[in-house]
Amino acid sequence: MNFFRGVMGGQAAGPQPSGAETIQKLCDRVASSTLLEDRRDAVRALKSLSKKYRMEVGTQAMDHLINILQTDRSDSEILGYALDTLYNIICNDEEEEQDENAQKQADDLGAQFTEKFIQDPEHVTLLLSLLEEFDFHVRWPGVKLLTALLKSQGVQVQGVILVSPMGVSRLMDLLADSREVIRNDGLLLLQQLTKGNAAIQKIVAFENAFERLLDIITEEGSSDGGIVVEDCLLLLLNLLKNNSSNQNFFKEGSYIQRMKPWFEVGDDNSGWSAQKVTNLHLMLQLVRVMVSPVNSPGATSSCQKSMYQCGLLQQLCIILMATGVPADILTETINTVSEVIRGSQVNQDYFASVNAPSNPPRPAIVVLLMSMVNERQPFVLRCAVLYCFQCFLYKNQKGQGEIVATLLPSTIDANCISAGQLLCGGLFSADSLSNWCAAVALAHALQDNLTQKEQLLRVQLATSLGKPPVSLLQQCTNILSQGSKVQTRVGLLMLLCTWINNCPIAVTHFLHNQENVPFLTAQISENLGEDERLVQGLCALLLGICIYYNDNSLENYTKEKLKQLIEKRIGKENFVEKLGFITKHELYSRAAQKPQPVFPSPEQMLFDHEFTKLVKDLEGVITKAVHKSSEEEKKEEEVKKTLEQHDNIVTQYKELIREQDAQLKELKEQVTSVTTQNEQLQATITQQLSQIQQHKDQYNILKLKLGKESQSNNQGDSSQVNGLQTEELSQLREEVEELRKQLTQLQSQLGEKDALINTLKSAPAQTIDGSTEGSGNPELLQELEALRSQIQSQLAEITQLRTERRELLSRAEAQSSDTVTSSDSSIDAAKVAELESRLAAQISETEKLKGSRAELEQQLASAQSTVAILQTEKAKLQTDVQESKKEQDDLLMLLADQDQKIHSLKQRLKELGETVEDEDDLDTRDQTDDDDEEDDEEDED
Rounded to 5 degrees, what angle do the CA atoms 221, 224, 230 make?
85
Mean pLDDT of all residues in 75-97: 81
End-to-end CA distance of the chain: give it in Å, rounded: 171
- What value does the mean pLDDT take over residues 623-641? 75
For residues 387-410, average pLDDT: 93
Q: Which of 74-83, 174-183, 440-449, 916-925 has the lowest mean pLDDT?
A: 916-925
Burial annotation 751-785 (CB, 10 A radius, 16+ → b, else e): eebeeebeebeeebeebbeeeebeeebeebeeebe
pLDDT band at 825; cut points 50, 70, 90: very low
Q: How far is CA 893 from CA 65, 890, 898, in A?
A: 138, 5, 9
Contacts of 585 (CB under 8 A, 6+ apart): 533, 534, 537, 606, 607
State pTM to two decimals: 0.66
Rounded-to-integer distance, Cα 589 and Cα 746, Å: 116
> In this model, does residue 294 exceed pLDDT 80?
yes
Q: 240 or 481: which carries more pLDDT confidence?
A: 240
**Most confident by average pLDDT, 449-458, 459-468, 686-695:** 449-458
Of 152-166, 195-209, 540-554, 711-725, the poorest mean pLDDT is in 711-725
Helix (H) or strand (E) holding 461: strand 460-461
What was the pLDDT predicted at 113? 87
The pLDDT assigned to 188 comes to: 94
CA dihedral 136, 142, 144, 146 (to 10 degrees): -160
pLDDT single digits (tens) 457-491: 999 887 766 678 889 999 999 999 887 889 999 99
pLDDT higher at 314 or 832: 314
Residues 6+ apart with CB under 8 A from 317: 337, 351, 354, 364
Cβ count within 10 A of residue 138: 23
Amino acid at 474: Q
Residue 355 pLDDT grade (very low, low, confident, very high; cuts 50, 70, 90): very high
**pLDDT at 932 (0 to 100):** 59
Task: Check if the beta carbon of residue 213 is closer than 8 Å to that of residue 236.
Answer: yes
116 Cβ neighbours under 8 A, 6+ residues apart? 58, 62
What pLDDT is stored for residue 218 in this prediction?
Answer: 93
* Cα four-point dihedral sign 41, 47, 53, 57: positive
Check whether 753 has a pLDDT greater than 80.
no
Element (H, E) at 530: helix 530-548
The pLDDT of residue 268 is 54
At residue 905, the pLDDT reads 77
Mean pLDDT of 662-671: 87
Is the pLDDT score of 242 beyond 50?
yes
Q: What is the pLDDT of residue 733?
A: 63
Q: Over 50: is that where the pLDDT of 2 sits?
A: no
Least confident interval from 412-426, 467-481, 781-795: 781-795
Q: Tell me, what's the pLDDT at 391?
A: 97
Residue partners of 809: CB distance under 8 A and separation at least 6: 706, 709, 710, 718
DSSP at 913: T
Q: Whose CA is closest to 429, among 488, 493, 486? A: 488
User: Residue 931 has what pLDDT?
Assistant: 60
Of these ranges, 38-42, 898-902, 934-938, the one predicted with the greatest mean pLDDT is: 38-42
Mapping DSSP to helix (H, G, I), strand (E, B) and coil, where does residue 460 land? Answer: strand
Query: Backbone phi, then psi, for 714, in 5-degree steps?
Result: -95, 145
The pLDDT assigned to 884 comes to 72
What mean pLDDT is predicted for residues 315-340? 93
Q: Quick one: pLDDT at residue 767?
A: 40
Are the beta carbons of 348 and 395 closer than 8 angstroms? no
User: 461 pairs with which residues across the strands?
Assistant: 470
pLDDT score, position 881: 75
Q: Return the pLDDT at 12.
A: 46
Rounded Cα distance, 941 and 937, in Å = 6
The more confident residue out of 779 and 497 is 497
C-alpha closest to that of 439 among 610, 222, 220, 230: 610
pLDDT value for 650? 83
Q: What is the average pLDDT value for the chain, to the nearest integer?
A: 81
pLDDT score recorded for residue 417: 85
CA-based nearest residue to 636, from 548, 572, 545: 548
Q: How confident is the model over 663-672, as a mean pLDDT? A: 87
- The reported pLDDT for the residue numbered 9 is 45
Is 243 in contact with 202 (CB distance < 8 Å)?
yes
pLDDT at 46 over 50: yes
Q: What is the mean pLDDT of residues 224-229?
A: 92
Q: Are 435 and 487 in contact (CB under 8 A)?
A: yes
Query: Per-residue pLDDT for 94 more than 70?
Result: no
pLDDT in tens, 707-739: 776 665 444 444 444 444 455 556 666 766 776
Residue 535 predicted with pLDDT over 50: yes
- The pLDDT tens digits for 132-172 are 888 899 999 999 999 999 998 889 999 999 998 888 988 99
**pLDDT at position 917 over 70:** no
Q: What share of the chain is helix, strand, coil (3-state, %, to 5)?
A: 80, 0, 20
Long-range contacts of 5-11 (CB under 8 A, 24+ apart): 7/45, 7/48, 7/49, 8/44, 8/45, 8/48
Q: Is the CA virtual torsion 72, 77, 79, 82 positive or negative?
A: negative
Residues 15, 226: Cα–Cα separation, whole Å: 52
